[in-house]
């Protein structure tokens, strides 16, 4: 018995399915390139055992616990760490709660990922439920005690060629340094994410800028010194292997102020008394500044806009950021990004990858933009759309205008280590399904589909992220 069908996610049409399955066989075992994610570099630096099944598969994964929370399961009962340090839930009981509510994930990408993980990593081939919760727990817990489930071994087992983490400019990157010093050959690289020193609403923002100046040895009392401090930290990240930056702004708004206006705006921002409109304008200006720095230093630039962070005030105040309460918001791109694209969009030295939580923007704005500006590329379906349906919709709406080669392959954007191969498997299957359909409809020759399957799996992502 198995919970995974070999032809899952392939087209129902026999001819298209045949091509999809053939393409998938060619790409399914190719190395995983993971250029954007949120796994903890400490795992690979210390290479310690994961403490228990709940800590491995439930507590780091907001896709899992947000669904349970939506059905009345408290985060406290799931052992989600609280800001005051409280964490009293018994991991076995957490697992039983999870198993009792596993039916909630029917039809979701989370179910696809978890079933893949259970079968391929632990040999568990019966659907999880309350009746076999303890059996599942024992199998997973026993596996975690073995050397085969240490982070570095899993990294190698999953055939990960490179894995990027996400790190603040204030991070010492000590765990990345420890990985290097250990002699281990796994490639784990940082990504420069400066939101904490660009977003004036970020907790401790003014103090963060002061710390930035101290670390970089620059006078951040002036806009010029502030920019130099950011350049300094970007250079440090590059020495540690970084190839990209990432920006999580609410909007895609960009600006191109003259030097005097930018200095005056910066002084208002660091005074701690700026208006919301000034804060938004500052973030817009900084996106353009970051694009200019990417032209200088070659770091690929990523923009992840459209998420209203910490929508649930109660959860935020008790559990902090990234606890499943960020919500998508409509996002405008054509006018918003015009200042940045007017200045740098024609420069081949810039690779600017834009994501969206607003799917309607692909056909209406993003695909036409990427189909014109040399610097602009489309990021894959992200977050709420990182699903079989979302990926297929992306291919259908983006390809017609931007083609395949203005996209950048797939990234898993995950905090859950064991979900990485599962997520990449779904992406490879959907791409092969889409290509198989084009071949069966005589819109693409099969030899072209073979080449595209390879490009969508490894070649485009390596090129875009300079890996």
Please tell me whether residues 68 and 193 are part of one structural domain: no
Domain for residue 3, yes or no? no
Please tell me whether residues 153 and 130 are part of one structural domain: no
Query: Is the predicted pLDDT of residue 424 greater than 70, yes or no?
Result: yes
Task: Give CA–CA dist 356/307, Å, rounded.
Answer: 9
Nearest to 381, CA basis, from 402, 362, 401: 362
350-372 confidence digits (pLDDT tens): 999 999 999 999 999 999 999 99
User: What pLDDT score does 1 carry?
Assistant: 62
What tokens were used for 267?
Answer: 């002084």
Q: What range defines the domain where residue 84 resides?
A: 50-147
Mean pLDDT (whole number) for 406-428: 96
Query: Is the predicted pLDDT of residue 262 greater than 80, yes or no?
Result: yes
Domain for residue 176, yes or no? yes
Please tell me whether residues 104 and 244 are part of one structural domain: no
User: What pLDDT score does 232 carry?
Assistant: 98
Residue 40's pLDDT band, with cuts at 50, 70 and 90, is very high
301-324 confidence digits (pLDDT tens): 999 999 999 999 999 999 998 899
Mean pLDDT (whole number) for 110-128: 97
Mean pLDDT (whole number) for 260-278: 96
Query: Is the predicted pLDDT of residue 281 greater than 70, yes or no?
Result: yes
- Domains: count for the chain: 2
Indicate which CATH number applies to the domain containing 303. Answer: 3.20.20.140
Domain for residue 2, yes or no? no
What tokens were used for 212?
Answer: 């930035």
Domain for residue 171, yes or no? yes
Query: Is the predicted pLDDT of residue 224 greater than 90, yes or no?
Result: yes
Query: Is the predicted pLDDT of residue 230 greater than 90, yes or no?
Result: yes
Do residues 299 and 243 make contact, with C-beta atoms less than 8 angstroms apart? yes
Residue ending a domain, among 147, 175, 197, is 147
Residue ending a domain, among 101, 126, 147, is 147
Please tell me whether residues 302 and 241 are part of one structural domain: yes
Please tell me whether residues 230 and 245 are part of one structural domain: yes
Indicate which CATH number applies to the domain containing 86. Answer: 1.10.2020.10
User: What pLDDT score does 111 carry?
Assistant: 96
Query: Is the predicted pLDDT of residue 409 greater than 90, yes or no?
Result: yes
Mean pLDDT (whole number) for 394-419: 96
Query: Is the predicted pLDDT of residue 86 greater than 80, yes or no?
Result: no
User: What pLDDT score does 32 carry?
Assistant: 98
Domain for residue 227, yes or no? yes
Please tell me whether residues 224 and 186 are part of one structural domain: yes
Please tell me whether residues 208 and 66 are part of one structural domain: no
Query: Is the predicted pLDDT of residue 85 greater than 90, yes or no?
Result: no
Rounded to 10 degrees, what is the CA torsion of 353, 347, 337, 207? 70
User: What's the chain's average pLDDT?
Assistant: 96
Please tell me whether residues 166 and 135 are part of one structural domain: no
Task: Give CA–CA dist 193/242, Å, rounded.
Answer: 11
Please tell me whether residues 160 and 136 are part of one structural domain: no
Residue ending a domain, among 132, 147, 162, is 147
List, in order, residues 6 or more apart from 96 with CB less than 8 Å away: 130, 133, 134, 137
Domain for residue 329, yes or no? yes
Domain for residue 5, yes or no? no
139-172 confidence digits (pLDDT tens): 999 999 999 999 999 999 999 999 999 999 999 9
Residue 209's pLDDT band, with cuts at 50, 70 and 90, is very high
Query: Is the predicted pLDDT of residue 26 greater than 80, yes or no?
Result: yes
Pairing verdict, β 352-354 and 376-378: parallel
Sign of CA dihedral 233, 42, 35, 394: negative
Domain for residue 436, yes or no? yes
DSSP state of 192: B
User: What pLDDT score does 258 carry?
Assistant: 97
Please tell me whether residues 233 and 367 are part of one structural domain: yes
For residues 122 and 88, the model is more confident at: 122
Task: Give CA–CA dist 225/238, Å, rounded.
Answer: 20
User: What pLDDT score does 87 carry?
Assistant: 67
Residue 3's pLDDT band, with cuts at 50, 70 and 90, is confident
Mean pLDDT (whole number) for 128-148: 98
User: What pLDDT score does 145 carry?
Assistant: 97
Please tell me whether residues 168 and 64 are part of one structural domain: no
Please tell me whether residues 356 and 417 are part of one structural domain: yes
42-71 confidence digits (pLDDT tens): 999 999 999 999 999 999 899 999 999 999
Give 3-state DSSP helix, strand, coil % of the chain, rounded to 5: 55, 5, 40
Phi, psi of 5 (to 5 degrees): -85, 140
């Amino acid at each position: 018995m198995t919970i995974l069908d070999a032809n899952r996610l392939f087209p129902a049409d026999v001819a298209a399915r045949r091509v999809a399955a053939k393409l998938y066989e060619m790409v399914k075992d190719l190395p995983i390139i993971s250029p954007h994610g949120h796994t903890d570099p400490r795992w690979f630096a210390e290479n310690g055992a994961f403490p228990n099944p709940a800590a491995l598969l439930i507590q780091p994964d907001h896709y899992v616990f947000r669904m349970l929370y939506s059905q009345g399961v408290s985060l406290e009962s799931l052992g989600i760490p609280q800001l005051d340090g409280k964490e009293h839930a018994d991991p076995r009981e957490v697992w039983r709660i999870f198993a009792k509510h596993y039916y909630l994930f029917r039809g979701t990408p989370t179910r696809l990922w978890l079933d893949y993980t259970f079968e391929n990593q632990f040999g568990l081939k019966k659907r999880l439920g309350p009746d076999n919760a303890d059996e599942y727990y024992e199998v997973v817990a026993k596996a975690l005690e073995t050397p085969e489930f240490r982070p570095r071994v899993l990294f190698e087992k999953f055939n990960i060629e490179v894995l990027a983490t996400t790190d603040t400019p204030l991070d010492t990157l000590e765990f990345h340094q420890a990985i290097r010093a250990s002699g281990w050959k796994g490639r784990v690289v940082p990504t420069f994410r400066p939101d904490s020193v660009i977003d004036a609403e970020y907790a401790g923002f003014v103090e963060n800028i002061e710390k930035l100046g101290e670390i970089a040895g620059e006078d951040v009392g002036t806009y010029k010194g502030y920019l130099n401090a950011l350049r300094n930290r970007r250079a440090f990240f590059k020495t540690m292997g970084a190839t990209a930056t990432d920006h999580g702004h609410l909007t895609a708004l960009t600006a191109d102020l003259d030097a005097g206006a930018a200095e005056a705006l910066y002084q208002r921002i660091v005074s701690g008394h700026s208006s919301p409109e000034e804060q938004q304008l500052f973030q817009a200006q900084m996106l353009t500044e970051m694009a200019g720095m990417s032209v200088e230093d070659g770091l690929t630039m990523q923009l992840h806009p459209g998420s209203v962070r910490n929508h649930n005030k109660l959860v935020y105040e008790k559990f902090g950021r990234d606890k499943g309460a960020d919500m998508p918001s409509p996002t405008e791109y054509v006018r918003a990004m015009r200042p940045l694209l007017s200045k740098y969009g024609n420069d081949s030295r810039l690779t600017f990858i834009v994501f969206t939580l607003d799917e309607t923007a692909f056909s209406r704005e993003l695909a036409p933009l990427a189909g014109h500006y040399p610097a602009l590329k489309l990021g894959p379906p992200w977050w709420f759309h990182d699903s079989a349906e979302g990926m297929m919709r992306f291919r259908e709406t983006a390809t017609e205008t931007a083609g395949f080669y203005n996209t950048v392959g797939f990234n898993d954007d995950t905090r859950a280590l064991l979900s990485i191969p599962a997520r990449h498997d779904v992406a490879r299957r959907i791409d092969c399904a889409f290509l198989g359909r084009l071949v069966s409809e005589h819109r693409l020759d099969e030899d072209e589909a073979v080449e595209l399957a390879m490009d969508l799996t490894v070649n485009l992502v390596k090129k875009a992220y300079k890996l």
